[in-house]
């Protein structure tokens, strides 16, 4: 760790009960406790949240751009996963 360089933390906030935590931004902090308090002060000062997660950015594994084609395109032709694919009598409201 470079002297005085704080790790980057990603911040996720649950807007209100019933909703998922959503990525809202990031910040720098020396430890989880400080990150949590800074997240509270930075990202919920307009009542944007009822719960916060902070995650060290380096702990997040992301899919790679180079893999996009092999990762995501094969889902393209699986149209039968979607309800609109099927023809059933409309009046039954299936």
Partner 1 sequence: MTKNHYRYVLRLGDNALILGQRMTEWCGHSPLLEEDIAMANCALDHVGRARLLLSYAAELEGEGRSEDDLAFVRSDREFENFLLCELPIGDYAFTMARQYLLDTYHYHLFTELVSSSDETLSAIAKKAIKETTYHMDRSRDWVLRLGDGTEESHERMQVALEGMWNYTEELFERDPVDVQMIAEAVGPDPEWLHSKWQADINATIKEATLSVPEKKWSLSGGRNGIHTEAMGHLLSEMQYLQRTYPGLNW
Partner 2 sequence: MVDVMSFTDEQCQFDAIIEAEEKIEPRDWMPEKYRLNLVRQMSQHAHSEVVGQLPEGNWIGRAPTLRRKAILLAKVQDEAGHGLYLYSAAETLGVSREEMMNDLLIGKAKYASIFNYPTLTWADVGAIGWLVDGAAIVNQISLCRTSYGPYARAMVKICKEESFHMRQGYEIMQVLAEGAAAQKAMAQDALNRWWWPTLMMFGPHDSESANSQQSMKWKIKRQSNDELRQKFVDQTVKQADHLGLAIPDQDLKWNEERGHYDFGPIDWEEFARVVKGGGLCNDARLEARRKANNEGQWVKDALMAYAEKHSRSDVDQVA
The DSSP element (H or E) to which 52 belongs, if any, is: strand 51-56
Q: Cβ(18)–Cβ(46) under 8 Å?
A: no
CB 7 within 8 A of CB 26: no
Could you tell me which residues are beta bridge partners of residue 22? 13
Per CB under 8 A, the list member of 14, 15, 26, 40 interacting with partner 2 is 26
Considering beta carbons, is residue 66 or 91 the nearer one to partner 2?
66
Residue 27 as a binder of partner 2 (CB under 8 A): the answer is yes
The listed partner (partner 1, partner 2, none) that binds 32, CB under 5 to 8 Å by sort, is: partner 2
Q: What is the spatial distance between Cα 79 and Cα 61, in angstroms, rounded to a whole number?
A: 29
Site membership for partner 2, residue 62 (CB under 8 A): yes
Contacting positions for partner 2 (CB under 8 A): 1, 3-6, 8, 25-28, 30-36, 42, 45-46, 53-54, 62-66, 69
């Amino acid at each position: 760790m470079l002297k005085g360089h704080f790790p980057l933390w990603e911040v996720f906030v649950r807007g209100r009960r019933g909703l998922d935590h959503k990525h809202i931004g990031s910040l720098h902090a020396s430890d989880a406790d400080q990150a949590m308090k800074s997240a509270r002060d930075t990202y919920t000062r307009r009542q944007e949240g009822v719960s916060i997660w902070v995650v060290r950015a380096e702990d997040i594994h992301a899919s790679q751009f180079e893999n996009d084609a092999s990762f995501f395109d094969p889902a393209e032709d699986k149209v039968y996963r979607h309800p609109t694919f099927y023809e059933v009598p409309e009046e039954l409201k299936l």
